[in-house]
Every structure is written in structure tokens, then in C-alpha cells.
Amino acid sequence: MIWGYAKRIYRLNPESSREDALERNTLDALEQVPLDSMRRFVIRAHRFADAYRRGLDGAQAAWAVRKYKGHRVLPPDFLKEMEAAGIRRGGNANAGW
């Protein structure tokens, strides 16, 4: 996510074929990514990791990460809410629920 943010900033720089200009533009773009954004990206990655650890597939993990934003991990009762929302377990055979 951080790299995607930096690439967006990098594309705003004028094009160049010189290696020193490319390197300078890359480093400048990486330095322009705000620390708050980096922290949010890390917390989001923690939530996805927790969802996958609990056996959710990609679509279920994305739903859970969008719904719960308060902590680095998903709440204990999120499975009940997911079932109430009609989101079913996908093809993840090793899920523990």
C-alpha cells in the first residue's frame, strides 16, 4: 500500500530516462508518503492477517476489514455479524468456524 501511494506521487514527476533523475524521483516519492498513512496501512494489514489467520477467504476478509476499523484485530463476535449479513464461508477448507 505504501509503494502504491509512492508510485502515485512518482508519476507526478516529469519523465526522465536518466538513471540519477529516476533514483532521485523514487526516493523523493517515498519520502513524501505521510507517516499517518503508513501507520494506517500497517493497521489494515494487521486486520487482514488476523482475518486470514481465522480462516476467512479474500472476500470475507475484505468485508470484515471494511466493517471493523477500531482495532488491529477483528472483534470476537464478528462471525455472527458476518453470518447475519449473509456472507458465507468460501472455499477455505482449513477454516476453524
Segment-wise mean pLDDT, segments of 10 residues, the chain, 97 residues: 93 86 92 94 89 87 81 75 75 44
Look at residue 95 and tell me if it is in a domain: no
What is the DSSP annotation of 68-86?
--SSSS--TTHHHHHHHTT
46: containing domain: 37-90
Summary mean pLDDT of the chain: 83
Residues 27 and 44 occupy one common structural domain:
no
Residues 6+ apart with CB under 8 A from 85: 63
Residues 6+ apart with CB under 8 A from 22: 16
pLDDT score of 24? 92
Residues 6+ apart with CB under 8 A from 63: 82, 85, 87
Residues 16 and 50 occupy one common structural domain:
no
Residues 25 and 47 occupy one common structural domain:
no
pLDDT score of 94? 44
Residues 86 and 45 occupy one common structural domain:
yes
How far, in Å, are 5, 34, 94 from residue 91 at the CA level? 32, 37, 9
